[in-house]
Amino acid sequence: MTPRSKKLINAPEAIIPEFIEGYVAAHAALLAVEGPTGRAIVARHGPRDGKVGIVIGGGSGHEPAFAGYVGRGLADAAAVGNVFASPSPAQILDAGRAADGGAGVLLLYGNYTGDVLNFTMAAEELGAEGTPVRQVAVTDDIASAPAERRAERRGVAGDFFVFKIAGAAADLGEPLPRVEALARRANDNCRSMGVALGPCSLPQTGTPNFRIGDTEMEIGMGIHGEPGMYRAPLASADAVTDDLMQKILAELSLSAGDRVAVLVNGLGATTQLELFLLFRRLRQILDGLGVTIHASWVGEYATALEMAGASITLLRLDDELARLLDHPCRSPALTVGVEAPPPTARRTARRSIRREDTAATDAAALQAGGRITPALFVAMMRAVAAEIRQERDWLSQLDGVIGDGDHGVTMDIGWSAVLPELDRLEPEVLIGAISERIGQTFLAAVGASSGPLYAGAFRQAGRAVQDRLNLDGAALAAWITGISDGILARGGASPGDKTMIDAWLPAAEAATAAAAAGADEIGVLTAARDAAEAGMRRTAGIESRRGRSAKLGARSLGHIDPGAASAFVSLRAMARNLVRTAAAEPAAP
């Protein structure tokens, strides 16, 4: 039996709002919370009129990243996601509006599928409101893709340097295109490599998100527990440093006379004693090359809950980057130089523009045929929520093998948020509108990659049946196809990429074929369920090409994709509920 980790928490579902409450209270002179989501932490002396707003963000569990870098001369606001999950567009919007000083907003985040999806959606909304927006995804992790595919790399502790450079440039009054260009230059000159010695565990599960032997280490593991480049026997501090530095130096091409900034970062359970041994050896290596360390930091700056291990990050400096690195800043996790007095410039509150859907429904035009009424559809959605909760740990275990171990938790958070929304539905609400509400709720609650993907899925499914009062077999097939089409449109994955689409697309095709053959609602849904299960099982034989597991290559073989598994679980729950309801109906006279 796998032992559960010990954590000082209250209710797992309350950990993020309680963390924010405590963090902001502890740094009340520096930070405040703004916006209706309660997930935007804002610098009290950061945002001001005429200055480019710097917004950072990502999942929790990496403290002090990301809220720790909110302050004067650094980020103006941070959007705080759930543990190891991107913040939602609504949470990012709160941060963006708080940071907006009228000169535009720069969004900075790690290059992960969920972050890219959610920050891009927020950028689109801010742009629609009239705010100029630019984005930079940090890609410093050498282990996650080869140099020729650097745009696919993850962002890890290099966030620290990119945030510092961009924050300084904005504080000095640089315009938005210039701030973006400097952030990109910092990212281009930054490289990181890490090593993991032991796993971490999510608060919701309490179980290790990967397994590693007592005498093993993993080179290149990500900050969510994503598998790295390879495993090796545990080596000495000097040998590990040599290995990490060899890979970094091979890409930075440093020579005598160059200057660098150095970050030796603990992942959560590695002591200062160990970290300074790594720095000691790193200094010896750079001294031997004639490379000067302009500035250095050793400690915990981008963690992975209680993971044991460390990372090394080097930023190659030119005169301008060095000047920006030295520019004063003050935040809970980083203070540089002598802080200037708080600015006296005005800060104008930005008004958000809320667009409401005013389209009316012509009840007389609705098609009423079909067994699945709005009430039954709601019951089927409740069944999905219950089954996702029941399979949460299994889904997270699947994700722990090839990802970061949070898929089951993330899906459960989304469906748990949907349930009270279903309770609040008006009696006359239609299935199309219910689907839209589910998508919006999922997006607001989850973030991560699942939030935008299922938001698009339910929105498209709702549109596919907006002319229906009830669903018959053909309409149900159209709804399932809408789910598949919505995921394809937002996520960009293709069949065979080892994603949820490998279950949803065959489900949609089977449902359409069954409907064309005259199947009723049960026949259509049963066909979709069976096709999703077959698609899910086929993913074990597919090498991943999308998402975090794409970095694994052949190591992803033999493992079911967790997104495909949750797709099957959802359709299975819908089918079970529909069959049970039909069995309880009185027989026709």
Catalytically active residues are 224
- Cα–Cα dist 15/447, whole Å: 16
Helix (H) / strand (E) element for 416: namely helix 407-423
Helices 159-171, 319-326: crossing angle, 10 deg rounding: 80
Q: Is 263 helix (H, G, I), strand (E, B) or coil?
A: strand
Amino acid of residue 541:
G
Pick the closest to residue 514 from 480, 538, 539, 484 (CA basis).
480
- Cα–Cα dist 6/192, whole Å: 30
- Cα–Cα dist 359/355, whole Å: 12
Helices 431-446, 407-423: crossing angle, 10 deg rounding: 130
Number of Cβ atoms within 10 Å of the Cβ of 235 = 14
Question: Which positions ≥6 away from 542 have C-beta within 8 Å?
Answer: 496, 497, 498, 502, 556, 557, 561
Q: Is 283 helix (H, G, I), strand (E, B) or coil?
A: helix
Which pair of structure tokens corresponds to residue 294? 């302009």
- Cα–Cα dist 177/191, whole Å: 23
Query: For residue 107, which phi and psi values (nearest 5 degrees)?
Result: -100, 130
Within the chain, what is the greatest distance between any pair of CA atoms?
93
Which pair of structure tokens corresponds to residue 146? 């080869």
Bridge partners, 80 (sequence order): 58
